[in-house]
């Protein structure tokens, strides 16, 4: 589970980084959409890691808070990109 968490978590940033150099607006939106899906998957693995007591409540809450903020930023960026 922790390896899946690592993979999906780092994929968020990798896709955002790719989006910075997107070839078009549609490509940018696509990369951010993939990042959002990866963030959702990361949330799933985070929940499982907490439920199996792999993470303390304090660590879980900290990571969840950071992840929720990142998701809000991605959603906001997607909304802005789709308006233009």
pLDDT grade for 16, boundaries at 50, 70 and 90: very high
Contact status, residue 9 vs residue 42, Cβ threshold 8 Å: yes
pLDDT grade for 82, boundaries at 50, 70 and 90: very high
pLDDT of residue 72: 98
Q: From the centroid of its chain, how far is CA 84? A: 23
pLDDT tens digits for range 20-72: 999 999 999 999 999 999 999 999 999 999 999 999 999 999 999 999 999 99
């Amino acid at each position: 589970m922790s390896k899946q968490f690592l993979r999906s978590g780092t994929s968020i940033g990798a896709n955002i980084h790719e989006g910075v150099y997107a070839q078009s607006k549609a490509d940018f939106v696509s990369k951010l959409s993939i990042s959002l899906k990866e963030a959702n998957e990361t949330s799933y693995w985070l929940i499982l890691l907490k439920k199996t007591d792999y993470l303390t409540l304090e660590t879980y809450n900290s990571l969840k808070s950071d992840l929720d903020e990142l998701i809000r930023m991605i959603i906001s960026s997607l909304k802005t990109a789709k308006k233009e």
